[in-house]
Amino acid sequence: MQQTLSIIKPDAIEKNVIGKILARFEENGLKIIAAKMLHLTEEKAKKFYMVHKEKPFYMDLVKFMTSGPVLVLALQGKEAVKKCREIMGATNFKDAKEGTIRKDFASSIERNAVHGSDSLENAKIEVSFFFNNNEIFPR
């Protein structure tokens, strides 16, 4: 069993599709073991996306991620990191397969509805970035 981090981004919250996105994870075998709605501060968003700080889209990404509330999730399941990324679809929604979250709900490469950890190592870092141990309910 693995745990991974997902974020339902401000664009998806604005579209009122939180429930639909949660259902995609559950219907595909992942369990929601932690959830928190919050409005990221600029400092926290910058820190979370630090790996992209040299990219030309970094400041726009931070602006977007702080433009409204997000729902942060820890997901558990067999091969959860890979499975979550399959359910989300490609970062660029134009490349995302039919039936994926990004194909159905993203509106640009930046406003791509969801985030998911890209490796098991990063999943551990990202889950603990948002959740204390007593806020996670593995089962």
Which positions are annotated as active-site residues? 115
Q: Which is nearer to ligand CMP, 12 or 22 (CB)?
A: 12
Compare residues 22 and 114 and give the one whose CB is closer to ligand CMP.
114
Bridge partners of 5? 74
Distances (CA, A) of 48 to 16, 19, 31, 58, 117: 24, 24, 23, 11, 11
At its nearest, how many Å lie between ligand CMP and the CB of residue 84? 11
User: Does 90 sit near ligand CMP (CB under 6 A)?
Assistant: no
Nearer to ligand CMP (CB atom), residue 8 or residue 34: 8
In the list 41, 42, 50, 57, the residue contacting ligand CMP (rule: CB under 6 A) is 57
**By CB under 6 A, is residue 115 in contact with ligand CMP?**
yes
CB of 43 to ligand CMP, least distance (A): 17
Backbone angles phi, psi at 43, to 5 degrees: -60, -45
Of the candidates 25, 122, 7, 11, the one whose C-alpha atom is nearest the C-alpha of residue 73 is: 7
Q: Is 47 helix (H, G, I), strand (E, B) or coil?
A: helix
Among residues 112, 123, 126, 131, which is the contact residue for ligand CMP, using CB under 6 A? 112
Sign of the Cα torsion 120, 103, 100, 114 reads positive
Give the separation between CA 31 and CA 136, rounded to whole angstroms.
Answer: 11
Tell me the two tokens of residue 42.
């600029």
**Of the ranges 27-35, 39-47, 93-101, 104-112, which one interacts with ligand CMP (CB under 6 A)?**
104-112
> Which positions lie near ligand CMP, rule CB under 6 A?
52, 57, 61, 91, 109-110, 112, 115
